[in-house]
Structures are given as C-alpha cells and as structure tokens.
Chain A
Amino acid sequence: MATVTASSTSSSLVLAHALPLDSGQRLEQVTLAYETYGELAPDKSNAILIFHALTGDQHVASPHPITGKPGWWDRMVGPGKPIDTARFHVICANFIGSCMGSTGPASPAPDGKPWAMRFPVITIRDMVRAQVALLDALGIERLHAAVGPSMGGMLALSLAANYPDRAERILGIATPASMSAQNIAFHEVGRQAIMADPAWNGGDYYGKGKGPDAGLAVARMAAHITYLSEAALAEKFGRRLQDREAKSFGFDADFQVESYLRYQGITFTNRFDANSYLYISRAMDYFDLAEEHGGRLADAFARCKSRFCLISFDTDWLYPTSEMRQIVHALNAVAAPVSFVELSAPYGHDSFLLDVPALDRVIAGFLNR
C-alpha cells in the first residue's frame, strides 16, 4: 500500500483582498502555496482540507522539494489509504508565516526587501482566515472534513469555532485548545536559541550568506525531544555510544541520542527559515480558543454544526490526553456530536506520523461515514 503515491498538483494563489489580522494590521498580496490530490466532485462536496504542523508543509503526500523525501503524511493520504484520494479531493496549503511558498517573513514586503522581523505577528486564526479565503477562491463552500494533527489541529479547531458552517467534520489529532505554560516554555527556549545566534542579526540575514543555523538547530533539537516519548528514546538509543567503544572524555556526540539530535537539528536548517520558526511558534503560544470566546471553551463551539473526532496518544506528553479531554468536555457541554479515543502507541507525540494501525482505522472510519 505504501508504494502507491498520490499524484498531486502544486498551485499558488494570491488572495484577491488584503487579509485582516488579529493584531489589527492588514496583510496585502497574500500568497498561499497549496497541493491538491484526487478529483474534486462536480458539486464540490468531497473536499478535505488538511492543516499541517509547525514545521510541516503542503507536500502532504508528494515528495518534499528540498529533501526529496516522501510527503509527511504519505502513509495516510493517497489512493486506497485512510484519507482516500480516489474518493476525496485533498487540499493542503502552506499556512501564512511559513516558508514553503506562502507569505511569511522571508517574503518580500511592499518595499521589495524581505519582511524579516517587520512581518506582523500573526495568530492561528489569521492562518485559518487566509485558508478560508483560499476555499472561497476555489468555490468550496463546505468541506467534507477539516483534518489537523498537532498544530494543524489548532487550525482545525479554530476553523470550527470561527467558521462554524465550513466543515461537516472536524478531525483533530494530538492537539490542544490552548498552549500550556510548559509548551510556551519550550518554544521560548527555541526562540532564544535562534536570537542568541549572532548570525540571526535581528532577523536581517536574508541574502547575507549564512543564517542563524546553529540557533535554529538548537531550537529544533529542544523541540524534537518533546515529540518523542521517554520510552521511545530509551528503546531507540538507550545509553548506547555512537561509533565508538568508550566514552571520549570530551564533548563530542558520544551518545547515539546526541548524534541523532544533532543530525535532526542540522538537517532541519536546510529546509526551514529561522524567522518563520519564531513567528509560527509565537502564533501557537498565543492560541487559546477559550480566551477568544469570552473565557469559556464551550462557547467557542456553540454555533458549530460539525461532527467531531478527537484522537490522542497515551505516550504524548506534549499534547496529552488530559488536554484533549477538555475539548471533549466543552463539546459535550454544547451537545456537539463528538467521538474521542486515546490510542496506545509508543512513539510519543510523533505517533501521528508513524505506523499506528488503529489511527488509520479511526481516521478512515470517521471520514467514510
């Protein structure tokens, strides 16, 4: 099954109108880069919008243009796969603030120079507003489903709260209704690592050869730890040494886990923009769906007519089951049709990307009924 790859279409669209932002500013000439898979039905009723995660992109099931690796959800999206492109028209757009073709800090500002830190601070709701404008442009009134794992789930929940008529189904995987203090803290470590790198230069590093790769790599290393469970790290690396018989009594990557993290950090800098990392992580920190709706999470969903399915993983300590249960609780309070399941998987938060057959079954079951 994994050998079947969806054929995709890469597109890019400039929004017809300026995008109003939660900060009060407006963003002109917003570009959204997106991929589509599968045929759109004549009545446009079979569209599924997938929201990607923090460092994800629109290449959900097509090779990444820089790394050449399969799409990040290649195992989930394609003909005959749980999100079946033989049946559904799948859309995945790079959200604004990112760096894979949609407008972000690396894009040119009206003066022709990169926005860099002049780019406005954006929110999850701003990202959703831009994607709703994309749906408008595509003539898609009502999605069969909006699907989001991790940060993408924040966008899916925000869509449900702010555009209650746009999706028949909302599927959120390993995602919270607000960022916890612990998660804001991890983000702050990442941001400070980037900003402490002299090459960051106040965000003004475009076209100057070298960006803050060292800082961005450290940010990725710290974040990557949060994506894995302690058991997964113990199983994968334990205390095993990397290509050596004995400890070096130095500060090389003696341990396999160090070597792995360093590799994750370095390869990340080849495909991601440091300023985008600052802006997107900030948008996540600001996310608090209850706060947006008068402090009561249930009120966020009061007008929504969608069916919900929420999935957590028992080893995910980034967005744990207890936080997802708060969303279930809120949905129950407004009598929204909601299913929730905590799946057992050993890999921590990253379980949504990995081989968890029960995840495939729940997703397919929810989307097909």
Chain B
Amino acid sequence: MSGLRPDLAVIARHVPPGSRVIDVGCGEGELMAVLRDERHVDARGMEIDPEAVEKCVARGLSTVQGDANRDLADYPDDAFDYAILSQTLQTAERPDLMLDELLRIGRKAFVSFPNFAHWRMRLSLLWRGRMPVTRHLPVSWYETQNIHHVTVTDFLELLRLKGVRIEKSWFFSGERELGAFGANWRAEYAVYLLSR
C-alpha cells in the first residue's frame, strides 16, 4: 500500500473492498485516499485540525472536523463496518470510553497504539530514570499529547474487562513486523482488529 506507515498499510490491506469505514483522527487523509483509490472503500474521516480537514476536502474525501473525545456521539450505531483509530488511543481523554464508541459506530474496529513497555522505554526508565524519548515517540513528557501511556498487556486487560474480541493483531518494531512472542517487550507499536 503505496507509502503508508506500516500500521496504516496493515489496516488498508485488511479492510475488505466495498466496506464503509471511518478513520478517526484521519489527519490529511493518507489512509482514506488509499482505501478509496486502491480498495474501493467508502471512507469517511474525523479530524480535529481544520487545516488537515481542508486538505482532505481538497482530496475529495468526506471529512468532518470534530473532537473524537466528544463528536463520535454524532454517529448512529452500526454506521460503519470498520472504525479506525490509529496512534490516537493514548491521546484520548478516556481511552476506555473511546473504545466503546468505536465499537458502537463500527461493527469492528482497528486500533493501533505505541507500546510503552517496549524494552527501550523500560531501559530509559530503569537506567536513566527519565521518561523515554524514542525514535517512535520523539516528544518530551511536558509537551507530548500522549496522556494515557498504555502497554500491550494493559490493552489486553482492558479488552478482557470489556469483553471485546480480538480478531487479529500485528506488532511492529520500526518498519519490521514481529511475531506475537514477547510483544510487550519487543513491539514498538501494535495494531488490533477488534469486534464486540
């Protein structure tokens, strides 16, 4: 999938052609454009930054400016086959409630997030006693938008509490896809396909 970030590429590959999709926090619409042009998907977007919405509109992508913490409520139940939340869960005011909303408006959901239990993070905390600044999370603690640090194990626990089913999962270190073994140590970020 032409030039997409690896987590987005994996999502694009697994959205069946002809489905209805919402990309929550769609940015300038890179994923939506690929879904539309290469997978014939009816993709809609939600994005908080008006300049990014503008770019989406200029690409012919239907995108609503909105705050995912609040405005997902505007969509009816089962409005989409898939709701996509890429690298945004950790910025949500209430990630647990956002997950509820995703699986209300979408029958299934793709969720990707950075794993804060990656070994580099652990080392940074353990040896340097500093909040990690890594290639994948390059922003210092005081200006990061990541307000809810989550690990693969934490996420699995949340899914268990909510009774959410995991259809599939993928783990990455940089551009490289990893197996599930030791994912909570080895994965820089994870992608899950979830259903109710």
Contact = CB atoms under 8 A, between A and B. Distances in A.
Contact of A341 (B44, B57, B61, B75): B57
Contacts of A358: 50-51, 54
B64 A335 contact: no
A329 B65 contact: no
Query: Which of A308, A337, A339, A364 lies at the interface centre, i.e. has the most chain B CB atoms within 10 A of its CB?
Result: A339
Interface in B60-85: 60-66, 71, 74-76, 79
A361 B59 CA distance: 12
A369 B59 contact: yes
B57 A339 contact: yes
Interface string A310-345: 000000000000000100110011010111111110
Nearest to B20: A335
Interface string A351-369: 0000000100110111011
Nearest to B53: A341
A21 B63 CA distance: 36
B161 interface: no
A309 interface: yes
A342 B50 contact: yes
A341 B76 contact: no
A87 interface: no
Nearest to B80: A335
B74 A339 contact: no
Interface size on B, as a range, is 20 to 34
Interface string A137-180: 00000000000000000000000000000000000000000000
B76 A332 contact: yes
A307 interface: yes
B74 A328 contact: yes
Contact of B50 (A307, A337, A343, A366): A343
A332 B65 CA distance: 13
A340 B64 contact: yes
Nearest to B59: A369
A350 B60 CA distance: 27
A361 B71 CA distance: 24
B126 interface: no
Contact of B79 (A307, A332, A342, A365): A332
A155 to B, nearest CB: 22
Nearest to B76: A333
Which residue, B71, B74, B75, has most C-beta atoms of chain A within 10 A?
A: B74
A344 B79 CA distance: 30
A364 to B, nearest CB: 8
Given A307-B62, A335-B20, A369-B60, A361 B54 contact: yes
B97 interface: no
Contacts of A364: 58
A365 B54 contact: yes
B44 A337 contact: yes
B32 to A, nearest CB: 11
A328 B63 CA distance: 11
A331 to B, nearest CB: 9
Interface string B92-110: 0000000000000000000
Contacts of A341: 50, 53-54, 57, 65
Nearest to B73: A329
B56 interface: yes
B74 A362 contact: no
Nearest to A326: B74
A328 B59 contact: no
Interface string A82-96: 000000000000000
Contact of A339 (B42, B51, B64): B64
A71 B140 CA distance: 52
A329 B54 CA distance: 19
28 contacts: A325-B71, A325-B74, A328-B64, A332-B75, A332-B79, A333-B75, A333-B76, A335-B20, A335-B79, A337-B42, A337-B62, A338-B64, A339-B57, A339-B64, A340-B63, A340-B66, A341-B50, A342-B50, A342-B65, A343-B50, A344-B50, A362-B54, A365-B55, A366-B57, A366-B58, A368-B58, A369-B57, A369-B60
Given A333-B75, A340-B64, A362-B57, 6 more contacts: A337-B42, A339-B64, A340-B66, A366-B58, A369-B57, A369-B60
Interface of B: 20, 42, 44, 50-51, 53-66, 71, 74-76, 79
Shortest Cβ-Cβ A-B pairs, 4 listed = A365-B58, A369-B60, A337-B62, A340-B64
